[in-house]
Structure 1
Amino acid sequence: MIRIARQPKWILLLLFALALAAVFAWLGKWQVERAVLDSQAASSLTEIAKPLIELAKPGGPIPITAGGHLTTVSGAFDPEGFVVLTGRLNQGKAGYWLVGRLLVSNSGDNGDNGDAVAARGPASVSLPVALGWAPTQDALNAALAPEKAAAVAGSGSTILISGRLMPTEAPTVPKPTGNPFEESTLSVASLVNVWPNYSGTSFGAYLIDDQGPDGLTTIDSAPPENSATLNWLNIFYAIEWVVFAGFAVYFWYRLVRDAYEREEEEKTLSL
């Protein structure tokens, strides 16, 4: 059989079978790569910052794909729109958040020097911005004072804010024995009732600032978790291509085997 397999025609057929098997193996590899790519969550894309206007529109909930996305937005802080949230965890420690009301600029893009929307005008668009975290109320108040002063001094001029966009949280009912005006969740629906002289519209989300003010700790914000799974249909196709690759070599073997058996049969009959 080895003698037959060394014949030129069978060597050429073997090379063809090996080339065919290589193509099938490559197709199997491609199917596996497709399965892995399909299993990767879009979270990798969320780490590429986009202007807020490209991710969400004011006046309604944000798309699922926008949640956890890095973004940039320009606007001016309302000096009277700062709110303190209690019971907020940061790296496992309970404390306080300082949240500001950003009046988004007309462009709503990546921080040009255009005019901000009028603070309490009918066309104002608000975006809550979680500026930073503090372990105590005193530490937060110490950072709040200069923030208010800066907002007053910079009234009407835009600044660039960058961070991670998060969907609004659900409002909570105050405890009967607690402070009815105390906020513990970043709910846009609650904030619009807390902001003085609020008018206009708001984004159904908030921004976690990635560069908090002095005296506050930057709020920890992780990218969305990968919840995707492998595409098993692609895995099945990959297994099929591997089987085809093996069959191409086996088919060559069977042809050589058949040729050998015919030759042996002819020898037997000739005796």
Structure 2
Amino acid sequence: MLRTALKPRWLGLFALLLVIIAACTQLGLWQLHVAQDKGLRDALQKAHEARPALIDTVVRPHQAFPNPQSNRAVTAIGRYAASDQFLVGPRRLGGRTGYWVVTPLDVTETGARLAVVRGFVTDTTTPIEPPAGAVSVDGSLAPGEAPGTAPAGVLPWPKPARGSIDFSLLVNDWPGELYNAFVFAQGEKTAAGAGIPAPAGLDRVPPPEVTGGLKWRNAAYALQWWVFGGFAAFMWFRMVREDAQRDPATEGDPERE
């Protein structure tokens, strides 16, 4: 069979086969990227368009983070625990380096603590106190972060600064129950419904992009291209094999038997 495959016509078809396989591979990868991009866009749009839901209808204290709800618009009602506020960083926002201001919110309905990223600051010398009394926080839900190295030389706010929002550490530092999620605050209101403006020097942190999602129809197109490339290779092999079986010159060839 090897002797047959080396015939000029089969070598020519083999070169064409390589071109077809390369084209099918690239077209499949292109469709896969399209599937991922469309899935991401749909996930972002769905998360942004969803009506805000009370935090306890999305995730409960100590419950594992619901991945499909990442970036979900939520509302939490409670009181800030100013004595446990801390900074997380360094982080980047709008080309600037600074820190997230994280303040625990004791949620009224459950009594559990919810980490709230109230905003971003570049000045770490002057603590920004959270509003006193009952507040309603509107924001976007996010999962906890991997452990990070605490920054050096940053003043406590009033707790020492951290490298990340790591719930494996917070569960030992905060009393009572806590949520395995935090919220990027986009707005705050008093119990009476009056809006609370962000303090000077504190910028709200927009929620990060959702990193999951897949458009299955385009993923199926990618699979079709790869199957077509594999089928072309199979047909070339089959035609060469049949030609070898018909060719009297291959009689006695051990590869034919």
Provide TM-score, normalisation by structure 1. Answer: 0.54
Where does residue 43 of structure 1 map in the other structure? 44
Aligned 1:153-172 pairs, distance under 5 A: 154=133, 158-172=134-148
SS at match of 1:184: coil
Give aligned pairs, total.
170
Where does residue 68 of structure 1 map in the other structure? 71
Within 2, Cα distance between the matches of 1:78 and 1:231?
Answer: 48
SS at match of 1:137: coil
- CA gap of 1:233–1:96, structure 2 versus 1, over 3 A, is closer
Residue 188, structure 1, aligned to residue 167, structure 2: yes
Greater than 4 Å deviation, 4+ residue runs: 177-181, 232-236
SS at match of 1:42: helix
Identity within the alignment, %: 20
Instruction: Report how far residue 160 of structure 1 moved.
Output: 0.9
The AA in structure 1 aligned to 2:182 is Y
Where does residue 198 of structure 2 map in the other structure? 213
The AA in structure 2 aligned to 1:163 is G
Where does residue 120 of structure 2 map in the other structure? 133
Instruction: Report how far residue 204 of structure 1 moved.
Output: 0.5
SS at match of 1:85: strand
**Unmatched tracts of structure 1, length 5 or more:** 1-34, 107-116, 118-123, 237-271
Where does residue 204 of structure 1 map in the other structure? 180
Instruction: Report how far residue 133 of structure 1 moved.
Output: 0.6
Instruction: Report how far residue 186 of structure 1 moved.
Output: 1.5
- CA gap of 1:96–1:46, structure 2 versus 1, over 3 A, is same
CA RMSD of aligned residues (A): 3.1
**Unmatched tracts of structure 2, length 5 or more:** 1-34, 188-196, 223-257
Instruction: Report how far residue 78 of structure 1 moved.
Output: 1.3
Within 1, Cα distance between the matches of 2:209 and 2:161?
Answer: 29
CA contact (8 A) 1:99 1:131 kept: yes
Within 2, Cα distance between the matches of 1:190 and 1:233?
Answer: 40
**Per-residue CA distance 1:189-218 (angstroms, 9 max, x = gap):** 323444xxx321111010000037312011
Instruction: Report how far residue 167 of structure 1 moved.
Output: 0.2
Aligned 1:1-271 pairs, distance under 5 A: 39=39, 41-47=42-48, 48=50, 49-106=52-109, 124-138=111-125, 141=127, 144-145=128-129, 147=130, 150-151=131-132, 154=133, 158-174=134-150, 181-194=160-173, 198-211=174-187, 213-215=198-200, 216-225=202-211, 227-232=213-218
